[in-house]
Amino acid sequence: MAATVHRRRGPLVRGALAAGVLFTAWHIFASFLWIGPVTPLRELVPGNLLTSYMIPWYGQSWSVFAPEPINGDYRFKVRALVANEDGSTRETEWISASDVEMSMSRHNLFPPRASGLGTHQASLLKGAYDRLSPEQRTTASLNYFEGDAWLGRMQNAMNEQGDDQSLVVAYIVQERYSDAYSTQVARAVWGDSVIRVQFQVLRQNIIPFVDRNNPDAVRPPEQIADTGWRGLITLPQQSDADFADVFRPAFERLEK
């Protein structure tokens, strides 16, 4: 009987196998740190590396399970004030940026990172908005866009209407991100003629589990985080051109 000859794997094959093993080990370790309770072990991963790696592709939580599973949908709507060629201005219609982005993930095995940005930001803003006092929510519904310090003026007004300024800071941070996102959405749809934007976040709970078999059951009403008109914000490393290259085609497909 002839002896079996075992060929030694080449350096490229061995390198690919080693890289695969190392990546698998890193992914399992990163998932363990991310899913588990926050402990000093997370300090083993420097800076913001863990969050940057896990979000948005691998983000996980136990919120899909009882006793508090995800029980509502979020939408992020945007409209703009734009300048006409004759010097006049007009308010656009509302568009649902989150619906546009979600359309990118339908029937798509490899959806782009942008397919969940609006929904994620809507959740963050609504959470921060809900922690404000009624007086502070009224301030959020007012228009702030004149000058360079309009966001600071809104923050100062809210600080005077409550005792916990950390809640105001948390909301202002999400206002800033939401405004920057809305600015990119508006420019992607209506171009550089955009003067200011307005965004609106909505949450609608699903039909309660106990009523799941009731043919007459209807979804609860929408919960709206009402905000006024805002100035335009562009954050560092934002690219209007790159955003429009992804968002605009999806918007046009959805409008057909």
Distance from C-alpha of 104 to C-alpha of 181, rounded to nearest angstrom = 17
151 falls within a domain: yes
162 and 251 part of one domain: yes
Q: Which of 198-202, 229-233, 238-242 bottoms out in mean pLDDT, i.e. has the lowest?
A: 238-242
| Three-class DSSP labels, 90-144 | EECCCEEHHHHHHHCCCCCCCCCHHHHHHHHHHHHHHHHHHCCCHHHHHHHCCCE
Closest CA to 50 of 35, 64, 63, 65: 35
247 and 144 part of one domain: yes
122 CB neighbour count, 10 Å cutoff: 26
> Which tens digit of pLDDT belongs to each residue from 59-81?
666 666 656 666 788 999 999 99
Task: Report the pLDDT averaged over residues 143-165.
Answer: 93
Band of pLDDT at residue 5, cut at 50, 70 and 90: low
15 and 113 part of one domain: no
Domain count along the chain: 2
Q: Which of 74-83, 85-94, 114-123 bottoms out in mean pLDDT, i.e. has the lowest?
A: 114-123
236 and 178 part of one domain: yes
22 falls within a domain: yes
> Which tens digit of pLDDT belongs to each residue from 196-226?
999 999 998 888 878 888 998 888 888 999 8
Mutual angle of helices 240-255 and 165-190, in 10-degree steps: 70
Q: What residues make up the domain containing 128? A: 72-255
Residue 56: asked if its preceding bond is cis (omega within 30°), the reply is yes
55 and 76 part of one domain: no
Instruction: Give pairs for 216-219: CB < 8 Å, separation 24+.
Output: none
102 and 225 part of one domain: yes
pTM for the whole thing? 0.75
163 and 44 part of one domain: no
2 falls within a domain: no
66 CB neighbour count, 10 Å cutoff: 7
117 and 205 part of one domain: yes
185 falls within a domain: yes
The answer to whether 70 and 63 have CB atoms below 8 angstroms apart is yes
183 falls within a domain: yes
pLDDT at 48: 85
163 and 52 part of one domain: no
106 and 47 part of one domain: no
> Which tens digit of pLDDT belongs to each residue from 19-28?
999 999 999 9
Pairing of strands 95-96, 223-225: unpaired
Question: Which H or E run contains 76?
Answer: strand 72-83
117 falls within a domain: yes
Last residue of a domain, one of 60, 81, 98: 60
54 and 116 part of one domain: no
47 and 92 part of one domain: no
5 falls within a domain: no
Q: Which are the contacts of 34, defined by CB distance < 8 A and separation ≥ 6?
A: 50, 54, 58, 59, 60
pLDDT at 190: 96
Higher pLDDT, 172 or 7: 172
230 falls within a domain: yes
Strand partners, 204: 73
Distance from C-alpha of 215 to C-alpha of 200, rounded to nearest angstrom = 31
Higher pLDDT, 130 or 37: 130
